[in-house]
Amino acid sequence: MYYRRPLHNLSGVYRPLPTQRFLMMTMGGFWPVIQNLHNGHLGVVTRDGDFHIGERGRLVFVYSPDGGESWSHAAVISGEGSDNRNPAFGVTSSGTLLVSFIAQVNYTDGVYDTGDRVPTPLYLARSDDHGQTWTTELARVEGRDEFPVSSPYGKMLTRADGGIMMHYYADGGSHLITSSDDGRTWGRPAAIAGGGYNETGLCDLGEGRFLAVLRDDREGALSVSRSTDDAVTWSEPVRLTEAREHPGDVIKLADGRLLLTFGRRTTPCGVFGLVSHDDGASWDTNHRLFLVADVGRDLGYPSNIQRQDGAIVTVYYADQLVLSEPRAATIGIHGAAVIYRAEDLPVMR
């Protein structure tokens, strides 16, 4: 069964931007990650079950058969143990779905303990039936039985040769690991950046070139790093956004442009975006996208895909939404999908 509910929208590039917006899920939707599935559906991994910080959190999977307008009930990926959260999501070349996450145990009487923290192992869930059923085990990194991290984040990249790249952060820095066997084992970790960076969006530019968009620990701004040697070494990150504009997801569109989206947690709050016409060497900051503008401050974590018909779908979450139709009201935590056309984005002038 599917449920379809359009939402009103207010979007722009500091000018009108035609969009549609649809409710993806209610009573949850934290930190969604979207992927195109091999069966033609759109799939999203997200979290529900508790507050932003809460022991009852669980990871769930929802999917859309019609390009992001109608969304299924949530299927539980992992709900055992304490606070399953912070997913990274990928699709292998054979169509298997992979979800990496952590099970946060640092709670005392239901309150998150910011003092001495227990190391958090990296888990990996797998589905061979387009997300209907899942199996979960500890991620095997360099043959280790347990691989402690702070968290994974974002979309896993599946390369042309079938290899999979996944970002995680730990020990005050941003790192990645790769797999050549559909995520069953992962190789030696490689550093992207140290010095206080965490959630990082990765983009494959082709020909061994990669782009990373990193959130910093200090002001919550985004910085950009590049690799030209197949993700072996990375350039020093260069700041791109303002404070409290994070985290970022970046994709390469069919026409070659890059689309970056991020949440803004300072007035005006919402989901913003930028376009690059030169593989991220520069960004069109004179024409910022304003995709979502009617939400609270606990928001963002947008994730993007481009559909086969060229339309773009960006999913996000927010802790509130101000409704004007059919009557004025404010709803709570939810996830939603914004749909728009690539040809309506800024072009070179």
Judged by average pLDDT, the poorest of 177-191, 288-302, 316-330 is 316-330
Contact assessment for residue 16 and residue 290, using Cβ atoms and an 8 Å cutoff? no
Q: Give Cβ neighbours of residue 336 (< 8 Å, ≥ 6 apart).
A: 7, 21, 22, 23, 24, 29, 292, 315, 316, 317, 318, 321
Domains of the chain with CATH codes: 7-342 (2.120.10.10)
**Interval 138-169: pLDDT, tens:** 999 997 888 999 999 999 999 999 999 999 99
pLDDT at site 195: 83
pLDDT at site 348: 67
Question: Could you check whether the bond before residue 326 is cis, i.e. omega within 30 degrees of 0?
Answer: yes
**Interval 44-101: pLDDT, tens:** 999 999 999 999 999 999 999 999 999 999 999 998 879 999 999 999 999 999 999 9
Whole-number Å distance between alpha carbons of 305 and 154? 12
pLDDT at site 14: 67
Mean pLDDT of 123-131: 97
pLDDT at site 321: 85
pLDDT at site 190: 95
**Interval 185-198: pLDDT, tens:** 999 999 999 889 99
Whole-number Å distance between alpha carbons of 297 and 110? 24
Mean pLDDT of 15-27: 91
Q: 52's torsion region: left (phi>0), alpha (psi -120 to 50) or beta?
A: alpha
Query: How many whole angstroms from its chain centre is CA 73?
Result: 20
